[in-house]
Amino acid sequence: MHRRTTWLALAILAPLGLATGSAQSADLTAPPLIEPPPQIPTWTYRFVPYGWLIGLRGTQTVRGRSVKINASFIDVAEKADTLVGLMGDFEARNGPFSLYANAVWTKVDFAGKHMRTRSLAPGITGTLGASVAASTQLGIVEFGAFYEIARLNGLAIDVVAGGRYWFQEADLSFDLAGTVDTSDLRIADGRAIAKSGSIDWLDPMVGARLRYTIAPGHELFLRGDIGGFNVGSKFSWQAIGGYGVDFAIYKGVTFSGIIGYRALFVDYVRGQGRTRYEYDMLQHGPILGISMKW
């Protein structure tokens, strides 16, 4: 009787033991429920070589002689001796933060209907001569940082702060006449030439940028900033708007075409009398470029 009871107990407990062992084995082998770590933002880069068809409207003063310039980007582009050099934009982004730099270098010449004499600085006698021509080499380097402060339904809003460095060399030339004061001018080929030498300054600037994705690979952008604040120039402002569309991807690089319009104004003054230099000018015109992002 005792032996039959023992075998009955083993028959009842054996399945329970197997079930318990299976449950323990399952507990040991089940993967832990751990949430994956959040992805760390990585750097992305964008380089945009571009062309800016610059028109000029304002006043150029060299050695106290001032002339008024009014030439559209078409007038400038038609000049065979106008040289467009380096123009490029670079931006490195990590999450909402990005660093950027932009460079422009160009040389433009004006004469005839695009210019007229304006005034002489105090202490300079005579006139500017019957015929006036101007040549300006211009370099602009912007640098700074963007920070995205909001994003909603495809619209991103960035604030920007940085600086804008200017470099210029300008020459004004006039026909020689008995009323032209040439005491501080260079005489060459029957003309009096006022040369500025190298002029440079640095402006702080602040602004904002809007980026709107209207469809995958299609983006509208608008940027504005103000600067100068009597640190370098008296005042400056800039407005840029445009449209970009992706058209190809090659070896991880996304290529986009960009078209837009850029306007940049600055009012800078240095010196008095015969040493006075002034660049009170609006530079504006279409921009065309190709963006490379990786």
Residue 179's Cβ-count burial label (10 Å; 0-12, 13-18, 19+) is exposed
pLDDT value at 257 more than 80: yes
Parent domain of 109: 43-293
Confidence of residue 39 (pLDDT cuts 50, 70, 90): low
Residue 133's closest CA among 108, 105, 166, 106?
Answer: 108
pLDDT at 33: 56
Cα separations (Å) of 232 from 106, 138, 141?
A: 21, 16, 14
* In a domain? residue 33: no
pLDDT at 116: 78
Q: Within 13 Å of residue 277, how many CA atoms lie on the same side as its CB?
A: 19
Confidence of residue 158 (pLDDT cuts 50, 70, 90): very high
Q: Which tops the pLDDT comparison, 21 or 263?
A: 263
Residue 18 parent element (H or E): helix 2-29
Domain count, the chain: 1
What is the torsion angle, in degrees rounded to the nearest 10, for the CA atoms of residue 202, residue 203, residue 207 and residue 212?
Answer: -40
Average pLDDT (24-46) is 66
Q: Give the count of beta carbons closer than 10 Å to the beta carbon of residue 150.
A: 10
Confidence of residue 24 (pLDDT cuts 50, 70, 90): very low
* In a domain? residue 135: yes
Residue 165's closest CA among 144, 146, 142?
Answer: 142
* In a domain? residue 3: no
Mean pLDDT rounded to a whole number for the chain: 85
CATH number where 67 lies? 2.40.128.100
pLDDT at 118: 72
Residue 178's Cβ-count burial label (10 Å; 0-12, 13-18, 19+) is exposed
pLDDT value at 146 more than 80: yes
Give residue-wise pLDDT tens across range 66-79. Answer: 899 998 888 877 76
* In a domain? residue 62: yes
pLDDT at 20: 47
Q: Within 13 Å of residue 289, how many CA atoms lie on the same side as its CB?
A: 25
* In a domain? residue 215: yes
* In a domain? residue 2: no
pLDDT at 38: 64
* In a domain? residue 83: yes
Average pLDDT (270-277) is 92
* In a domain? residue 24: no
Give residue-wise pLDDT tens across range 83-105. Answer: 666 799 999 999 999 999 999 99
Residue 31's Cβ-count burial label (10 Å; 0-12, 13-18, 19+) is exposed
Share of the chain above pLDDT 90, in %: 59
Query: Is 265 strand, coil or helix?
Result: strand
Query: Is 15 strand, coil or helix?
Result: helix
